[in-house]
């Protein structure tokens, strides 16, 4: 991934940590439950490491499209994480030159300590794939949280509370909007998100 790319890898460790300098959220408390949340939601794909996309820290779940991957390898198209370069792929004169997407975005998880933080992270990706928030139990069950999640079609998953017998359990409170919305090219940065996920998938498989 290019050093100056807007996509930045956050920590790949799924574990709860505290806030960083000046209260900036570095890792959200329920991170360690992301694989469990994805499995509970029935999302079939690779859970990729946390990454900062468009200034939002999220976890992408993606599936490699093998025929498209093979085609790209044969034509020399590696993942392109330069957002400005990828933005030109929507130009009509570029239609016959750009590579096909080599991944399917299964879903995006926005883990956070508060629902407002999670929703701010998830909503920019509306239309690309299903979205869900992963939140502490009491925050997830807040009425305003569920109301706003319903408004934007975002799912809500609650982490286990301190009183739960199984601390690794999660509770799906809202499943969110299924599938993608408009075509990826109509979502700001949508094609670029596919390219970043493609790069992450290849790195994961290496």
Rounded to 5 degrees, φ, ψ at 140 are -65, -30
φ, ψ at 47 (rounded to 5°): -80, 110
Q: Which helix (H) or strand (E) holds 200?
A: helix 190-205
Cβ neighbours, 10 Å, residue 91:
10
H helices present in 59-128, as ranges? 66-75, 83-87, 115-122
Residue 189: its pLDDT value, please? 81
pLDDT at position 20: 44
pLDDT tens digits, 99-132: 999 999 999 999 999 999 999 999 999 989 999 9
pLDDT digit string, tens, across residues 32-71: 999 999 999 999 999 999 999 999 999 999 999 999 999 9
Residue 139 φ then ψ, to 5°: -70, -40
pLDDT of residue 90: 87
First to last CA, the chain: 14
Candidates 205, 206, 203; CA nearest to 51 is: 203
Comparing 23-27, 30-34, 73-77, 108-112, the range with the smallest average pLDDT is: 23-27
């Amino acid at each position: 991934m290019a050093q100056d790319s807007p996509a930045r890898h956050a920590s790949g460790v799924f574990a709860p940590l505290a806030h960083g300098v000046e209260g900036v959220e570095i890792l959200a408390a329920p991170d360690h439950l992301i694989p469990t949340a994805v499995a509970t939601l029935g999302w079939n794909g690779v859970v990729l490491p946390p990454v900062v996309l468009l200034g939002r820290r999220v976890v992408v779940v993606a599936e490699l499209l093998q025929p498209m991957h093979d085609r790209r390898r044969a034509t020399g198209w590696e993942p392109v994480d330069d957002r400005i370069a990828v933005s030109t792929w929507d130009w009509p004169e570029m239609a016959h030159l750009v590579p096909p997407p080599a991944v399917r975005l299964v879903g995006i998880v926005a883990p956070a300590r508060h629902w407002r933080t999670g929703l701010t992270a998830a909503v920019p990706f509306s239309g690309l794939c299903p979205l869900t928030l992963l939140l502490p139990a009491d925050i997830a069950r807040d009425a305003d949280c569920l109301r706003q999640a319903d408004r934007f079609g975002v799912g809500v998953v609650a982490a286990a509370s301190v009183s739960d017998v199984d601390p690794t359990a999660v509770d799906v409170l809202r499943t969110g909007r299924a599938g993608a919305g408009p075509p990826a090219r109509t979502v700001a940065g949508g094609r670029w998100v596919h390219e970043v996920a493609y790069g992450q998938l290849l790195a994961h498989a290496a």
